[in-house]
Amino acid sequence: MKLQSVALALSVLVAGCAAGPTPESPKANLLARASIMSQNERSITIRHSRWGQSTAFKWADEHCRAMGKAPVPSMSAPTGVSDTTSTWLCE
């Protein structure tokens, strides 16, 4: 029974690592999480895991560049155990 639980946990972990957010499917996996909390013409705030940080930076860049502006990191704070909430200003 214990071996089955370990095997199940490992398979879930491997499946979570296999697919991350993509332009076609921006849904995050168990490890590489990122979600937009708020966005407007002046800024974007994204909550992300350590492994979803590159996705957050990419989304911030795309958001600001769509308005002809550059993303400038403004604030980053831990949220919960493993997530961070980051805000970029579009300048």
Q: What is the pLDDT of residues 15-74, one digit of tens each?
A: 444 445 544 455 557 788 899 999 999 999 999 999 999 999 999 999 999 999 999 999
Residue 73 in any domain: the answer is yes
Report the Cα–Cα distance between both ends of the chain, in Å, rounded.
56
Examine residue 26 and state whether it is found in any structural domain, yes or no.
no
- What CATH number corresponds to the domain at position 66? 3.30.1360
Higher pLDDT, 60 or 12: 60
Number of domains in the chain: 1
Per-residue confidence (pLDDT) for residue 23, from 0 to 100? 47
Q: Is residue 1 part of a domain?
A: no
pLDDT for position 53:
93
How far apart CA 77 and CA 83 sit, in angstroms, is 9
What is the pTM assigned to this prediction?
A: 0.69
- Asked if residue 89 is part of any domain, the answer here is yes
Model pLDDT, residue 67? 96
- Does residue 10 lie in a domain region? no
